[in-house]
Structure 1
Amino acid sequence: MKMNTTTVKTPNRIEPADLASAKQPRAVWAVAFACVISFMGLGLVDPILPAISHQLNATPSQTSLLFSSYNLVTGIAMLATGFISSRMGVKWTMMTGTLLIIAFALLGGMSGSIGELVGYRAGWGLGNALFIATALSAIVGLSTRGSAKAVIMYEAALGLGISVGPLLGGELGSISWRGPFIGVGALMLIAFISIGVLMPKVPRQANRTSLADPFKALRHPGLLVLAVTAFLYNFGFFTLMAYTPFVMDLDEHGLGYVFFGWGILLAVTSVFVAPRLQKRFGSIRSMSVALLLFALALLVMGIWTSSQTTVIVSVIVAGAFLGTNNTLITTAVMEAAPVERSTASAAYSFVRFIGGALAPWLAGKLAEWYNPHMPFYVGAAFVVVAVLTVLLGRRFLSHVDAASGH
């Protein structure tokens, strides 16, 4: 099956029943399954962050570098994913990324110091970049149901992976903090086999992507606005992911259940709520409200940091706002600029992952420099600025909502 790598003007309306009614090729389901396992890696370490900090004699800010190194390498490597995939082909790029994830996840499980573990997470980030950049374009290109429906499927895989990841991390982490790393390595091996068997060989695109293409794509104001928005709200996102485990005072099982609830709400809203909001109010308005509510959740956590119940409830509820925003912004990115989807995804991901690299380290340091409340206040402020960025740049995104009548 030939993969469509060119930008096609498809309707930007996303329907909430798409996932249940879609009859997708087996290759799409194989990639989606691999995405679920890959995205487990994002939330997998949340339940074991305090255990890693304790057993490897690391401070919270040092432990948060597990997110920073992962996101930094992922973001930088995103710039080269189009260059690589246009020469290796989508299938082999994905399989190479999967092999790297397997190798570095297993190595991470055998680490003897926080420095080694941070380094292996960086290698994991390289594999992650090769995988997720091509996975989104593969699902969109191989889908027989249109780009908007394919994006919902991708976001559903993301939500499922993020929700199951902490649960698995909590269960395996209660045995040893090394368990989750080894578990992901084993699961990604299954994903590697499923992609190899079920995914057809996709013809390489006619025009090879250059290393400069993602930077050129950011010249389009609409894509730049969305990328900067994601950069800013990632400060809130990774404050929640990397810092809250240290203030909830829960064991591995408890943290796993909290982030499982968070991920379930993220998955449900990304698949069922976001499409309805987009249909009724448009992407830009819905995105702005979702981000404002997320900023409010962070503010509540900042004010009542010492209340375990308040922080737990706020973390879980925040999943609903993040799930809604994720689907809306990812769908908008696919239509924001007249460039190939893989190039748009690489450019956008590069900018947002840089924010994801800075945020975890900053959250830990703010707690050390000031007090436990400060990371939440700063995270909320960044998310509010993200909302202002969307609203000020909405004239560059008018075409995103035009197809859905807003």
Structure 2
Amino acid sequence: MTSTTEPASPPSEQRSEPPQEGSGAQQSSGAQRARLRALAVLCAMQLMIILDGTVVTVALPTIQSDLGFSQAGLAWVMNSYLIAFAGLLLLAGRIGDLIGSKRVFLAGLALFTAASLLCGVATGAEVLIAGRFLQGVGGALASAVILGMIVGLFPAPGEQARAMGVYGFTSASGASIGLILGGVITQTVGWHWSFLINVPIGLVSLALAVRLLAPQRGLGLGKGADVLGAVLVTAGLSLGVYTIVQTAEPTVELPRTLLLAAAAVLLLAAFVLRQARAAQPLLSLHIFRKRQVTAANVVVVFLFAAGFGFQFMTALYLQRVLGFDSLQTGLAFLPAPLLGAVMSLFVAPRLTVRFGSRALLLAGLAAFLVALLVMSQAPADGSYLLNVAPVLALMGAGIGVGIPAAIMLAMSGAEPGDAGLASGLNNTAQQAGAAVGTAVLATLAASQSAVRVSEGVAEAAALRDGYSAAFVAAAGFVLAALVLTATLLRPSKK
């Protein structure tokens, strides 16, 4: 693999294995296999990160019962992870540029694996929350540099489209797969294995990553070791995510929320000012002057806000309105990852080469918009086969082409020396979108359902009305992404 901070070298020089003897075609074939194995390792880590969130979501009721969590305390099983993960992504991406992506990836993978073991053997609430926080730190370190490493491994447009298709499938379908695995694991071997399953996968991935990922020099800490900037951005992002996730708590007070939001904005504003004046900034603000990078990341925020919010609200509709249990709910999501796999792995790469990423993003967003609007009309006495399964299939198809296209547009506008930063920025956009979308849509659904109950509507119908309002709001996110894509994004000139 090439360094994300250096000009690309020939494939035979990118391998961490000794070159093989033989013809040029044999060496090229060997180098391609090595790159594909490296891609598999990177995507395995991304899949663990994505799976972890939804697998744990399904296991939360059992965790609460076994460890004696209060309802408010239970939220911190998720929140401690989100705060650490989202708060460190930008910093982790920049560290990857400075000291080399491989070092940061290995450190993150090792920490995530060790923290998963700690969570799996936890016998008390405090240990589990601490383990989840460390998982978030490890996940941020590894995830922040994955995209930049994939771009370095596959610089040619065609092969990069295929690689991003694999990554996009991993990101888009991992949550649905996690719901399925979560139901199976929790009901068969217990919630502890929701975490312990990461340990063997992590150890194997770590061993393969050491062997397959080539070392990189990086720019050096002297090019951006801004300690004050690191403190400001990490504190600002962490506080911002905390402000978002705590809005779902029933006892939250509006003045407190506004105060926390203002503090987060002030910290991030101070960070921006610091970067504008620092001799060696942690985050070079020139990256935001690239319209394609900025617009594509805003589109990613809206896309993930709608996507994660859609999955969360659909799971609630299946369980609380149609009466599905956790295993049935997980299996019900199968159409989404199946169609997502077909589109992102086989269809999207070919169409990207022919029509470009922007055209695919527009098509994917349009399909997702239709899916949300149809789902908003699902009745309280609905049928899974008629009202849910077709929507999940359409959503999977739309996300399957939309997410890889959006990520390619965001990464293609960055310079090689900013690959880690651009990767961290894109992952921050994904996490911010997921957190904002889930919090906003959950709050909207709950408030709308409460209003309908107060009006004397039956519980199932009131819940359905709340979820319908959330689906319409999610459609608004997708419509905003469509408008941005049509007006601000242009096909990559690379």
TM-score range, shorter chain: 0.7 to 0.9
TM-score, normalised by the number of residues in structure 2: 0.68
Deviates more, 1:306-315 or 1:372-381: 306-315
Quick one: which of 276, 283, 287 aligns to 1:213?
Answer: 283
Question: Is contact 1:86–1:209 with CA below 8 Å preserved after alignment?
Answer: no
Deviates more, 1:118-127 or 1:303-312: 118-127
CA contact (8 A) 2:444 2:470 kept: yes
Residue in 1 aligned with 2:238?
A: none
For 2:30 and 2:339, locate their aligned partners in 1 and report how far apart those are by CA, in whole Å: 22
User: Is residue 70–residue 357 contact of structure 1 (8 Å, CA) maintained in 2?
Assistant: no
Give the equivalent residue in structure 2 for 1:17.
none
Distance, in Å, in 2 between the alignment partners of 1:312 and 1:47 is 21
| Equivalent-residue separation in structure 2 for 1:158 and 1:282 (angstroms) | 16
- Residues paired across the two proteins, number: 386
Q: 1:337 to 1:91 in 2, by over 3 A?
A: closer
- The one-letter amino acid of 1:351's match is A
Offset at 1:262? 1.7
Q: Distance in 2 between matches of 1:78 and 1:215?
A: 16
Corresponding residue for residue 292 of structure 2:
222
Could you tell me the TM-score, scaled by structure 1's length?
Answer: 0.81
Residue 195 (1) aligns with residue 209 (2)? yes
Mapped to 1, the partners of 2:120 and 2:406 lie a distance apart of: 34
Q: 1:224 to 1:62 in 2, by over 3 A?
A: farther
Aligned residue number for residue 81 of structure 1 = 92
Partners of 2:7 and 2:301 in 1: CA distance: 24
Query: Which deviates more, 338-347 or 366-375?
Result: 338-347
Q: Tell me the distance in 2 between the aligned counterparts of 1:185 and 1:172.
A: 15
Bigger CA radius of gyration? 2
Indicate the residue corresponding to 1:15 in structure 2: none
Instruction: Sort the Cα spacing of 1:330 and 1:388 in 2 relative to 1 into closer, same or farther, 3 A.
Output: same
Aligned equivalents of 2:56, 2:425: Cα separation in 1: 32
Structure 1 residue 22 displacement after superposition = 9.8
User: Are positions 1:324 and 2:404 aligned together?
Assistant: no
- Partner of residue 335, structure 1: 412
Alpha-carbon separation, structure 1, partners of 2:373 and 2:74: 24
CA deviations over 1:323-371 (Å, ceiling 9, x no partner):
1011111111222244532222222332332122222222222222112
Q: Secondary structure of 1:303's match?
A: coil
**Residues 122 and 193 (structure 1), Cα distance of their counterparts in 2 relative to 1, 3 Å cut:** same
Q: Deviations over 1:20-63 (max 9, x none)?
A: x9962525513523422431432455366354246527899987
Distance 1:384 1:88 in 2: 40
CA distance in 1 between counterparts of 2:70 and 2:158 reads 43
Does the 8 Å contact 1:48/1:173 carry over to 2?
Answer: no
- The reply to whether residue 314 of structure 1 matches residue 412 of structure 2 is no
Instruction: Give the equivalent residue in structure 1 for 2:247.
Output: none
Q: Aligned pair in 2 of structure 1 residues 7, 283: CA closer, same or farther (>3 Å)?
A: farther
Structure 2 residue ranges without an equivalent (≥5): 9-28, 226-280, 449-465
Distance 1:214 1:66 in 2: 34
Quote the Cα distance in structure 2 between the aligned partners of 1:84 and 1:286. 32
Deviations 1:95-127 (A, max 9, x none): 111122113323333556888756644432322
Q: 2:117 aligns with which of 106, 113, 117?
A: 106
Correspondent of 1:356 among 422, 429, 434: 434
Q: Is the 8 A contact 1:40 1:165 kept in 2?
A: no
Moved more, 192-201 or 145-154: 145-154
Of residues 260, 265, 289, the one that matches 2:363 is 289
Per-residue CA shift, 1:365-406, capped at 9, x if unaligned?
A: 222211232221211111111111112213xx24x1x45xxx
Asked if the contact 1:70–1:121 (Cα under 8 Å) also holds between the matched residues in 2, the reply is: yes
Q: Report the CA distance shift for 1:166/1:40 in structure 2 as closer, same or farther (over 3 A).
A: farther
CA distance in 2, matches of 1:380, 1:109: 38
- Aligned partners of 1:34 and 1:188 also within 8 Å: no
- Superposed, 1:368-379 pairs within 5 Å as 368-370=446-448, 371-379=466-474
1:305 is displaced (CA, Å) by 5.5
Farther-moved stretch of structure 1 (213-222 vs 63-72): 63-72
Match of 1:56 among 40, 64, 85: 64
Percent identity over the alignment is: 23
Match of 1:389?
A: 484
Contact 1:32 1:139 in 2 (8 A): no
Alignment root-mean-square deviation, CA: 3.3
Aligned partner of 1:264 in structure 2 is 338
The answer to whether structure 1 residue 42 and structure 2 residue 50 are counterparts is yes
Give distance in 1, aligned partners of 2:111 and 2:312.
23
Distance 1:71 1:51, change over 3 A: closer
Distance (whole Å) between structure 2 residues aligned to residue 381 and residue 341 of structure 1: 31
Q: Deviations over 1:218-262 (max 9, x none)?
A: 222211111111111221111123332222123343233333432
CA apart distance, 1:146: 2.6
Query: In structure 2, what is the equivalent of residue 233 of structure 1?
Result: 303
**Match of residue 200, structure 2, among 177, 181, 186:** 186
Mark the CA change 1:259 to 1:203 in structure 2 (over 3 Å): closer, same or farther: farther
Superposition map of 1:170-181 within 5 A: 170-175=183-188, 176-181=190-195
Residue 149 to residue 351, structure 1, CA distance change in 2 (3 Å): same
Mapped partners of 1:159, 1:52: distance in 2: 26
Could you tell me which residue of structure 1 aligns to residue 422 of structure 2? 344
Cα distance in 2 for partners of 1:140, 1:22 equals 19
Match of 1:367? 445
Q: Is the 8 A contact 2:3 2:100 kept in 1?
A: no
TM-aligned CA distance change 1:99 to 1:287, over 3 Å:
same
2:59, 2:182 within 8 Å by CA — same for their partners in 1? no
2:374 aligned residue (286, 295, 300): 300
Which is worse superposed, 151-160 or 58-67? 58-67
Query: Residue 166 of structure 2 corresponds to which residue in structure 1?
Result: 156
Contact 2:294–2:410 (8 Å) recurs in 1: no
From 210, 218, 234, the counterpart of 1:204: 218
